[in-house]
A and B are shown apart, each in its own frame.
Chain A
């Protein structure tokens, strides 16, 4: 049997192969976890095409790719609305489609949200590097962003047959994207909230934060009010550094709101593993997908939650991304 594959006609804007759970166990050597930024949309795309929900698929950012199929396959596009078309005919997002060898799937710019996912039956079968196919584009770990004329190998498709009925994700189970460009982001205080003044902690949870254009898979940069610091941030062992937001190098949690000077940067999938700035807050893991879909200029409001509520949100996210959420189209 010949290798199943797709060919890249146009790469889009930094389209990468991503896989869950990402690159686990290598943070201590400086390798980020990577993986899909919006795991909700990613997993639903895989379920639509009959894959295990964590199978390698494509993450498209702001402008999607054009792909030619070299074999028959089932495909689904989820996440940001990139108005997909098959041989020029518009096809629905959040639904499975049968694609014949030779057909071309084209995605455009994101009309709502920022990141779309293209899952293909059998999954993308690029080489596994340090336990994962997830791409860390900036350092070229697991490959880089797609380029024109690249051929992507596909894995062997499961029992899904090409005459299987089309599936969809009911609207109530899809992630809901902000239509007014305002997002409520659940976040927890810590690990270093005690380096800020109590007023600054309050201020963080009651202010509007604008997403800067200089945001990507390493960090979401925010613009907003200035932070005041606690006594310990100003009167400290000189090993921490001179700036109030400097701390002795430490680990960086995924989703941490990292404070470099006065600029908060939310550390996301491809962020540095360690560094010398404080992390006063951390976004709940079940809310990461919203960061993936917020566009430059969108406003984030952070809502303070505790670990118990973060657990409930995780359970809810687990339910809507489990087999059985698909329905006949």
Chain B
């Protein structure tokens, strides 16, 4: 749901939170990215960082070069010029990630947490129960049966927040309370209505349903997918999950270790926002 106008919240003397709306949906997130792109194009020299998120973005700025009042007025002017809403087309890569659902490492991680918190329901079973799914196989089918929109990156280098594009594939899960102290590298988690992939062994709070052997972050830039960037994903990419067996997972891991693995990335597609929203409406979704 978009607000009628931007809401600005100062974060100390060097940052501003700019909120466009309330909720997690494609149209709102797409509008965030359009506005961030327009602010970036305006080349305001005092802006140091822009962090697009689900329903808002953060601006870090040098307050000795521009005042809070001038910067917020400028962003409001840019928004008035480009307008709210989502339409048009954009190049969007489609990246397919292999996943071993209900794998051994996330199972071990969940059991480790349950040693301290024995009442914690095992993650995939909790997700099935909350979403009316018969079993883990049904969860894997639903989760891998949609494309995802890379809505934001953050929390850790390369960590991505993914929104399912097929309305019926929206899976909901509460976050851990308290959070986990560790998560296996490559783990796939669900929190709120989002899916994330953990780029490394980090703390975390999403319910774990599987693991991808294909890295999404490579500090050493060994694999071809990381030639230009340490992180695999960019906002506006799309992701699909392909279920793999334990054997194929091990095979991919061996290829990664040998520096031979090539990510499945389709570079030629253009994503039509209008056609997507029409389609989503037909699917009974709110887009």
Chain A interface (Cβ < 8 Å from any Cβ of B):
21, 24-31, 33, 130, 136, 139-141, 187-188, 190-192, 237, 239-243, 246, 248-256, 260-261, 272-276, 279, 282-286, 307, 310-311, 314
User: Judging by beta carbons under 8 Å apart, are B51 and A283 in contact?
Assistant: no
- Within the assembled complex, what's the spacing in Å between the Cα atoms of A257 and B159? 22
Given contacts A190-B9, A250-B17, A251-B56, contact A276 B22 (CB under 8 A): no
Given contacts A24-B48, A27-B51, A28-B51, contact A250 B56 (CB under 8 A): yes
User: Judging by beta carbons under 8 Å apart, are A25 and B53 in contact?
Assistant: no
CB-defined A-B contacts under 8 Å, sample of 13? A27-B49, A27-B51, A30-B231, A139-B200, A192-B17, A248-B56, A251-B57, A252-B58, A253-B15, A274-B154, A310-B13, A311-B63, A311-B64
Chain B 153-196 residues near chain A, CB threshold 8 A = 153-159, 161, 174-175, 177-179, 191-194
- Within the assembled complex, what's the spacing in Å between the Cα atoms of A256 and B194? 24
Given contacts A24-B48, A241-B192, contact A139 B155 (CB under 8 A): no
- Within the assembled complex, what's the spacing in Å between the Cα atoms of A314 and B178? 37
User: Judging by beta carbons under 8 Å apart, are A307 and B9 in contact?
Assistant: no
User: Considering only CB atoms, which chain B residue lies closest to A25 in the complex?
Assistant: B49
Partner of B11, one of A240, A256, A260, A311: A256
- Within the assembled complex, what's the spacing in Å between the Cα atoms of A243 and B153? 23
Number of interface residues of B (CB under 8 A): 55
- Within the assembled complex, what's the spacing in Å between the Cα atoms of A307 and B190? 38
B154 / chain A contacts, CB cutoff of 8 Å: 27-30, 249, 251, 272-275
A311 / chain B contacts, CB cutoff of 8 Å: 13, 63-64
Chain B 193-230 residues near chain A, CB threshold 8 A = 193-194, 199-200, 205, 219, 229-230
User: Judging by beta carbons under 8 Å apart, are B13 and A24 in contact?
Assistant: no
User: Judging by beta carbons under 8 Å apart, are A307 and B157 in contact?
Assistant: no
Chain B 65-87 residues near chain A, CB threshold 8 A = 68
- Shortest Cβ distance from residue A27 to the other chain B in the assembled complex, whole angstroms: 4
A242 / chain B contacts, CB cutoff of 8 Å: 174
- Within the assembled complex, what's the spacing in Å between the Cα atoms of A242 and B174? 7
- Within the assembled complex, what's the spacing in Å between the Cα atoms of A274 and B30? 18
User: Judging by beta carbons under 8 Å apart, are A254 and B15 in contact?
Assistant: yes
Chain B interface (Cβ < 8 Å from any Cβ of A):
1, 9-17, 19, 22-24, 48-58, 60, 63-64, 68, 152-159, 161, 174-175, 177-179, 191-194, 199-200, 205, 219, 229-231, 235
Q: Chain B CB within 10 Å — which of A25, A188, A250 has the most?
A: A250
B15 / chain A contacts, CB cutoff of 8 Å: 191, 251, 253-254, 282
Partner of A28, one of B52, B191, B199: B52
